[in-house]
Amino acid sequence: MAQSNDMSKNVTPKALANELGVDPKRLRAYLRATFTRPIEAKNTSWAITPDAANAAREHFAKQQTGDASA
């Protein structure tokens, strides 16, 4: 399967965490705090929207640059 940077599709937390180089649990914690899902979505598969994925990319990129100066 060819990789694509098509941001119009939803992505899984595992795939996005792998891309960002962070633990999937850490990513999901960020998403829960920042992009709260409806109660009906509890215990269902995550489908991260392109907007949420881009916000997570920015968030974790800033943290990685901040960590480098520590």
* Ranges of each domain in the chain: 13-35+54-70
Cβ(56)–Cβ(30) below 8 Å? yes
Q: Which of 66, 41, 43 is nearest to 52 (CA)?
A: 41
pTM beyond 0.85: no
User: pLDDT tens for residues 16-49?
Assistant: 999 999 999 999 999 999 999 899 988 998 889 9
Task: List helix spans (H) across 1-70.
Answer: 13-20, 24-34, 50-68
The answer to whether residue 69 scores a pLDDT higher than 50 is: no
- Whether 46 contacts 13, CB under 8 Å: yes
> By the 8 A CB rule, do 20 and 57 touch?
yes
Task: Indicate the residue type of 63.
Answer: Q
